[in-house]
Amino acid sequence: METTWLTLATDMGWIAVGIILVLLAMSVTAFAIAWGKWQRLRAMAAATRELTPELSRLLEQGEVEEAIASCRNHPESHVGMILGAALEDVAPMVRDPSKAARAVETAERTIDREQILLASELRDGLGTIATIGATAPFLGLLGTVIGITNSFTGMATAGGGGIEAIARGIGEALITTAVGLVVAIPAVWLYNHFMTRLEQLFSELAYASRELVDWLLERAADHAADTPPMGDPAGTVTKRGPEWEG
């Protein structure tokens, strides 16, 4: 009788079938996580493209409250989440010129804290994909080893036989290795893809955060330049010439 992939699959033992079912469950899990991550990152990119020009314009005009409202209107944007939280914390200080310098330090602390929280949220599930990509080949190999062992055991029990006696069993066993590789290769690719996307996302976020801090530094510098020295409420410093003059 001709041996095909279909006949090998239908004649597999219960251990090989169990391993293949586990591998299929791992594959479904990896693709489900990847689908959710892809949708989330896609929505974040679209919201950020819409928010960024408006946010830049509002900050240039010094409209802090409107900038905060714009960030709230784009909750999917990673830039809006981080910069919005920073602006909310520094808004009272920005309104009070005497606290302009403290706003920079407060904004940096808020940005660091929110970035840690966002990174933890976005990386959630990627460890599962990495684990699937790393372990699926070994699980498939386990099925192959068990299948080959069973084939040789059967041949010994039967009292002999050539390669033909075990070829079918070995073929069945190798199916589990093939399935393991089919599960692992896409999982590894997906993990690397999403890690690259996250690196790009946090690079964009670092740039936007630096722009916000620079904007706050400029406001603090402008306030320092406009503040008259102590003891000179009129804003003019009385110049004294050398003692030998007049």
202-240 pLDDT per residue, tens: 999 999 999 998 888 887 776 666 555 555 554 444 444
Which residue would you say has higher pLDDT here, 3 or 10? 10
Q: Considering the domain boundaries, does residue 195 fall inside one?
A: yes
Q: Considering the domain boundaries, does residue 39 fall inside one?
A: yes
Phi, psi of 154 (to 5 degrees): -65, -40
Domain count for the chain: 1
Residue span of the structural domain in which 62 resides: 5-224
Are 163 and 152 in contact by the 8 Å Cβ rule? The answer is: no
Read off the pLDDT of residues 81-126 as tens digits, 9 standing for 90 and up.
Answer: 999 999 999 888 877 767 777 888 889 999 999 999 999 999 999 9
Q: Considering the domain boundaries, does residue 234 fall inside one?
A: no
Which pLDDT value is given to residue 203?
93
Q: Considering the domain boundaries, does residue 229 fall inside one?
A: no
Least confident of 40-54, 146-160, 200-214: 146-160
Read off the pLDDT of residues 161-209 as tens digits, 9 standing for 90 and up.
Answer: 556 656 666 777 788 888 999 999 999 999 999 999 999 999 999 999 9
